[in-house]
A = this chain, B = another copy of it.
Amino acid sequence: MTEPKTPDVAAPTGLVKKNARDGKSNATIYDIAKVAGVNPSTVSRALSKPGRVSAKTQKLIEDAAAELNYHVNPFARALPTGRTNTFGLIVADITNPTFFDIIRGAETTATLRDYTLVLAESAESAVTELTAARRMMATVDGLILASPRMDDDDIRTIARDKPVVVINREVDGVPCVVPDVNKGISEAVRSLAANGHHKVAFVAGPAQSWMSARRWEGVQAACEWSRLDAVRLESTKPTVDGGRQVARDVRASGATAVLTYNDLLAIGLMQELQAAGVVVPDQISIVGFDDIFGADFTTPPLTTVRSPLGECGSGAATLLLDLLHGAGEPTATLRVETELVLRGSSGRLLPAG
């Protein structure tokens, strides 16, 4: 079969074609087709539809592909199919260590399943978040929203276009990965009750944070169960700085134990209290949430309700990838367990001197 059926299809049309495949330009299925002596569409099938072509042809094509060092062009594939083997992850704040483990979990799972992770952050703004999500929609197969700030309807709207998985929040009709706060919180509160505390303060997070609301509910319920007083305080922002700022209110509240929306608040709060001469945990116990990187750098190291963040990230990625491949419930909610990590910042209340 040496006779060319279609003689000079590629006759020089005057176009500046970089015909010399000088190492640069990549091999295409047309090149493979020529080498293997088959039609390009056969090459395409051999490479992406297992079993569609005969074993003999398959081998022929694979050899040619290997010889030419062929790699599919992702854009050429994405154009007709819409599939990109890519998914997006939008986090509220890249520098917030809460998300580090989520990012890593998602990235690891993505790579493992031959997907690429595209990252964006919303800077804690619902508008930025929506913009980022919209922008990504065009280029990804699916989206993971970690602690989204936009409202439920926006999330559902996006979820109508492409598979979406939400972390740290429950949205009706959208698959979610949420830590179940109750176990960890009740362990924490019971520990505080056992150590002689009677009044507990909860420092809340951002108003739009679904998780902050759940944690406050959990704290209330657990306190009721243990017959402790519970009071809710507001923070300006869920950061170390926000924690410092809330120290006044904490002292004014008369609570002897504090749970904060997250570890950053707890760390800032502890720093400020210690700077003012308050001894932790003798005079006040502090418990954070999440067990972020650095939570054990403090003196005393921070007691905290751990959320398995890495698991959240990889769980969300798995959920999403299953969805993309047609497996799994379209709206399953994955619940992961929380647990108390008892360190030095909480303990027995010493009688006031």
Contacts and interface: CB of A to CB of B under 8 A. Distances in A.
Interface of A: 3, 9-10, 24, 71, 73-76, 78-79, 84, 86, 94-95, 97, 100-101, 103-104, 107, 111, 116-121, 127, 131-132, 135-136, 138-139, 153-154, 157, 161, 267, 293-294, 297-299
A138 B73 contact: yes
Contact of A298 (B74, B78, B154, B297): B297
Nearest to A9: B157
A9 B138 CA distance: 19
Contacts of A76: 79
Contacts of A86: 139
Contact of A118 (B10, B78, B119): B119
A159 to B, nearest CB: 13
B97 A104 contact: no
Contacts of A118: 116-119
Closest 4 CB pairs of A and B: A294-B294, A299-B299, A297-B297, A75-B78
A93 to B, nearest CB: 9
Chain B CB count within 10 A is highest, among A127, A153, A294, for A294
Nearest to A135: B116
A193 B76 CA distance: 63
Contacts of A101: 95
A267 B301 CA distance: 13
19 contacts: A3-B127, A71-B138, A73-B79, A75-B84, A94-B104, A95-B100, A95-B101, A97-B97, A97-B293, A97-B294, A100-B100, A107-B119, A111-B120, A111-B132, A116-B120, A116-B136, A117-B120, A118-B119, A294-B297
Contacts of A100: 94-95, 97, 100
The quantity of this chain's copies bound in the complex is 2
Contacts of A154: 9
A318 to B, nearest CB: 18
A6 to B, nearest CB: 14
A185 B71 CA distance: 46
Contacts of A139: 74-75, 86, 116
A66 to B, nearest CB: 15
Contacts of A111: 120, 132
Nearest to A160: B23
Nearest to A161: B24
Contacts of A84: 75
Contacts of A73: 79, 138
Interface centre among A97, A120, A161, A297 (most CB of B within 10 A): A297
Given A116-B118, A119-B118, A299-B299, A107 B94 contact: yes
Nearest to A116: B118
Contacts of A136: 116
Nearest to A128: B111
Contacts of A293: 95, 97, 293-294
Contacts of A120: 107, 111, 116-117
A74 B84 CA distance: 11
Contacts of A116: 118, 120, 135-136, 139
Contacts of A104: 94-95, 121
